[in-house]
A = this chain, B = another copy of it.
Amino acid sequence: MRTIERLTSLGLLAWFCCLSAEPVQGGKILVMPVDGSHWLSMKILVKELSLRGHEVVVLVPESSLLIQSSDTYRTEVFTVSYSQQELDGNFNELRKGIFNPPSSIGLLFEVQLLLNFTDLQVRGCESLLHNEALMSRLRAEGFHLVLTDPFLPCGPVLARLFSVPVVYFLQTLPCGLDLKANQCPTPPSYVPQFSSGNSPDMNFPQRVKNVLLSFVESYLCKLIYANFDNLVGKYLEDGMTYKELISHGDIWLVRYDFTFEWPRPLMPNMVLIGGINCAKNAPLPADLEEFVDGSGDDGFIIFTLGSMVPNMPEEIAKQFFDAFRQIPQKVLWRYTGVPPKDIPKNIRLMKWLPQNDLLAHPKAKIFLTHGGSHGVYECICNAVPMVMFPLFGDQEDNAHRMVARGVAEKLSIHDVTTEALLTAIKRIIHDKSYKQKMVQLSQIHLDRPLQPLDLAVFWTEFVMKHKGAAHLRVAAHDLNWIQYHSLDVLGFLALVLITVLVLTLKCCWFCTRSCFRKRTEKRKSQ
C-alpha cells in the first residue's frame, strides 16, 4: 500500500498521475460469502481480485452448498454447529414448498424458511467467533478489507471486530434493509415495495397498497433481523442493531441496472454492477454446440429453474414434456428427475447447463426460467426473451418487471398446462416485439462506460488504498427518524408560530377591550 512518505520521494505530480492508473498490488482481502446463488456472482469478483495480485482468503463453513476451494484464492474452512444434513434439510423444505399449491408458499412460509436458514447461519457464525485459534490467525493476517454479502451477518461482524473497512456485494436485502441502513430515500409514492406487484406509475389504490406494505415491511424487518440484532449485541456493542452495524459499509456494490430495476434515488457510495455475472462467455462443449447448431432456423430453448431447484413433481414435468413435444425448437432442460420413457428427440435433459454460454448463442430463442436475478441479467445481456415461473423471494418481482417491459411472459408453476406453455412460447417466437424490446434493453444495458467487473474491482481497491470511503458517507447516519424528517424542527416552528399568533390575538383583544372600555367610560362620563 502506498503512503504519503513515498509520495514526497516520487514528487507529487508523478504520484497523482499513477494513482488513478496503476492498480493496488498485494492487498489482503478477507471474503465472507453467502452460499448458494449469492456466491455465483461474488466468485467472479473474488477471482478477478486474486488475478490482479491481491491475497484473497475466503471463509467457508464446513457444511456448504456451492462454495468450493480454488487455485486462485485461499480458503479457510471453519467448523459449524450444524450438519450438512441439517443444511440440506433446510433447502429441501424450500424445494418441497414451492411446488405445493400457492396458498402454502405465502409470505409467512417464506419468512419462516428465511428465519430457519438465517438461524442456522447465525449459529454457524457463532461457531466461527468462538473458534479462537482461527480468529487469532485471521486477526494476525492484518487484512486491508472485508468483502462480504450483508445478507448474512458474519462478514459485517468480522469487519467491525477486526476494525477493517468493508465492501458489500449484494442484490438487495430482505425488507430493503440495505437501503434503510444506507439512508437511501425510497419514497413509497413511486418506488414499488417488495412483492407489491406495483410498477412505478401507480394509481391511488396501488399507492395505498404500497404505503401499507412499507408499514408491514418495517414490522417484518424487526422480525427477520431479530437474531442478527442479538448476534451484534452479543459480540459487538450492547444495544447495537444489525442495521446500525451495516450502515458503516464503505462501498455497496449493488447488482442493479435500470434496464432491470425501476429507476430510484441512489446514494454516493452505491456502485451499480448489475450484469457482472454475464461478462464472459466460454465456447460451448462440442456435443452441445452440435445439438444447438442442429436446431436450424427454429433455434432452441433453454429451461432451468435455478441452482436450488433441479427437479419438479412428475405431473408438472409432464406438462412441459408434452408442450416441448409439439414445438419445432430444440430444448435444453436442466432436469435431474426420473425422465419419462418417450423423451422426444428435440429435448436434451442435463444435470447442469452452461447457462450464460447457451444464452449467448445466436440461435437461443427463449429462456424458460424461475426468474432469479442472475438468469435475468444473462437474458438482458444476450437479448433473449423469457417465459418466467417465479418460485419464491424476489423472483415474482423480477418477473413483474420483465413482463412490464414487454420482454417476458409469466406463468404460474402450480397450474401450468401444456396449452398455456405452448401459447406463451409461440407468442414470443412469432410476436417480434418481445425480441425487439429485449434487443433495445440489451443495447442500453451493455452500453456503459466501464464493465461492472472493472467497476467492482476499482472500488474494492479504492477502499483499500484510502482506508475506507468516508467522503461518501452522509451525515444522515447521525440523525434519528424524527430529526431526519425534521419533525422536531417543524414542531418547534409550529410552536413558535402558534405562540406568536396567540400573543398577537391576545394583544389585539387587550387593545380592543381597553379601547372599548375607554369609550364606555367616556360615554358614561358624558
Contact = CB atoms under 8 A, between A and B. Distances in A.
Interface of A: 4, 7, 11-13, 16, 19-20, 184-185, 187-190, 200-202, 204, 207-208, 211-212, 258-259, 262-269, 360, 362, 381, 383, 436, 439, 442-444, 446-450, 454-455, 458-459, 462, 465-466, 471-476, 478-479, 483-486, 488-490, 492-493
B207 A489 contact: yes
B7 A212 contact: no
A489 B208 contact: yes
Nearest to A200: B475
A185 B362 contact: no
A458 B449 contact: yes
Given A184-B265, A187-B485, A443-B465, 10 more contacts: A4-B436, A12-B439, A16-B442, A20-B446, A187-B484, A200-B475, A207-B486, A258-B472, A262-B475, A447-B462
A272 to B, nearest CB: 8
Contacts of A478: 201
A16 B465 CA distance: 34
Contact of A211 (B266, B450, B466, B490): B490
28 contacts: A4-B436, A4-B439, A11-B362, A12-B383, A13-B360, A16-B381, A19-B446, A20-B446, A185-B185, A187-B476, A189-B489, A190-B475, A190-B484, A201-B475, A202-B475, A207-B483, A207-B486, A208-B489, A259-B471, A263-B267, A263-B471, A263-B472, A263-B474, A263-B475, A265-B267, A265-B474, A444-B466, A449-B458
A443 B489 contact: no
In the complex, the 5 A-B pairs of residues with the closest C-beta atoms, listed nearest first: A200-B475, A185-B185, A190-B475, A449-B458, A211-B489
Nearest to A462: B447
B466 A185 contact: no
A275 to B, nearest CB: 11
Contacts of A462: 447
A424 B215 CA distance: 54
Contact of A16 (B184, B269, B443, B471): B443
B447 A466 contact: yes
Contacts of A447: 19-20, 462, 465-466
A16 B472 CA distance: 33
Contacts of A190: 474-476, 479, 484
Nearest to A188: B486
Contacts of A204: 488-489, 492
Nearest to A484: B189
Contacts of A488: 204, 207
A80 B381 CA distance: 50
Nearest to A436: B4
A266 B262 CA distance: 15
B268 A268 contact: no
A486 B204 CA distance: 10
B11 A189 contact: no
Contacts of A443: 16, 19, 465-466
A263 B259 contact: no
Contacts of A266: 265-268
Contacts of A466: 443-444, 447
A511 to B, nearest CB: 29
A474 B439 contact: no
A202 B486 CA distance: 12
A128 to B, nearest CB: 33
Nearest to A443: B19
A18 B322 CA distance: 41
A108 to B, nearest CB: 23
